[in-house]
Amino acid sequence: MCQTSECGCGYPAHHAQAMVGHHWGCCAHGYPPRHFPTREEIMAQLEQYLKDLQAEARGVEERLAEFKKTG
């Protein structure tokens, strides 16, 4: 029996891939349909990633400025 909360199909062999983040077992049997990210979802993820990188870069710049002041 499938142990994931989103599936109740009863097929036992999907959990190797589910551990990697891809729940393909039920999809291979036709339920539920697979979800491939849309262009908009990919763009939103990339924009968030860029914001996170920019915030990290600001932190590095601030740290570097502190070192320059004390050096």
Specify the pLDDT at position 12.
Answer: 55
Q: Are residues 24 and 41 in the same domain?
A: no
| Rounded Cα gap, residues 29 and 52, in angstroms | 38
Specify the pLDDT at position 6.
Answer: 54
| Rounded Cα gap, residues 34 and 28, in angstroms | 9
Q: Are residues 54 and 64 in the same domain?
A: yes
- Residue-range definition of the domain harbouring residue 61: 37-71
Report yes or no on whether pTM surpasses 0.85: no
| Rounded Cα gap, residues 30 and 40, in angstroms | 25
Q: Are residues 70 and 44 in the same domain?
A: yes
The structural domain count of the chain equals: 2
Tens of pLDDT, residue by residue, the chain (71 residues) = 445 555 555 555 554 444 445 555 555 565 778 889 999 999 999 999 999 999 999 999 999 999 999 97
